[in-house]
Structure 1
Amino acid sequence: MGKLLYSATMSLDGFIAGPDGDMSWLAAHDGPDPESEALAATIGAILVGNRTYGGDDPNRGTDAEGAFGGTWSGPQFVLTHNPPTTPVPDTTFTDDLPGAITAAREAAGDKYVNVLGADTAAQCLALGELDEILVFIAPVLLGDGTRLFTHDGGTTIPLERLNTNHSTPSAHYRVLR
């Protein structure tokens, strides 16, 4: 079954969104990126928090709206306590994280389940379910916003670097257990 991969673009000072979830800063850093573009083909399902699912998309209203600049489509599992009353195609709304992880892994097959949203990723990590973290580093300092991870208690989480190409602006790690 699919591994859980938390992927995000992060500012150099550690933020994946600006204040109030602002993602407009990301549009200036979109562009050809072979590693990011190749990632979409390895994703079989998305597990996303409701704030991220309904949040600020810097490509809203364009052909590039949605996950991976609009290039990805498939099953999504959205964590929420308030599901919409109208069904959304290929989208399951649930407040059961362990159940959503199981369903997303099954839907992904041998591909990744891409975790989107800092809080959702932290919850998956706390459950011991997060397998990998892939961070694309944008050359910008946001100064405030949503951190890549907020991990209360000061517990150290060991990681193993997976990518060895140090010339790319990304870091890919395996979560060690």
Structure 2
Amino acid sequence: MAMPPSPYDFLPRVASFTVTSDDVTDGRTLPNAQVSGIMGAGGEDVSPHLSWSGFPEGTRSFAVTCLDPDAPTASGFWHWSVCDIPVEVTELAADAGNGSGLPEGAVTLRNDAGSNRYIGAAPPAGHGPHRYFFVVHAVDVPSLGIDSSGSPAFLGFNLFSHSLGRAIVTPVYEQK
């Protein structure tokens, strides 16, 4: 079975830049730390370390998102969404997604499990491999004006008209 296209292929093209991680790698299986314990997959719900560089001139802030487009829903499953990360911040430590490791002013939105934090991978057993798109978005305004009650879809709607660039790393995970 062929892998479906990236959901980002359907958005307007923007500049690309570089994201690296000490924890996750394109095409490689997520470590147990990035798998969900909250949703019963036996993991730790620790957001990965992310570091980025080479973003476009005019960037005024960043947003970080994690989407599983392969979830058995019509809209995928949002694991993590943070916006209004100050432009001088170009790295998030592992477990920043619990909220305590984020810079002042950053806003964590609720994930599709209903909490304002990172929640790890937990695809249905036997559903096959799922892709986890960890995306750093370069944003043209210092704040998108979204509060913590906002949804990741609403953030995406705002990013549609405010993204200057994207950096993507896409690990995978499967429960047998």
Q: TM-score, normalised by structure 2?
A: 0.26
Larger fraction in helix: 1
Kindly indicate whether structure 1 or structure 2 has the higher relative contact order, using CA contacts under 8 Å at least 6 residues apart: 1
Q: TM-score, normalised by structure 1?
A: 0.26
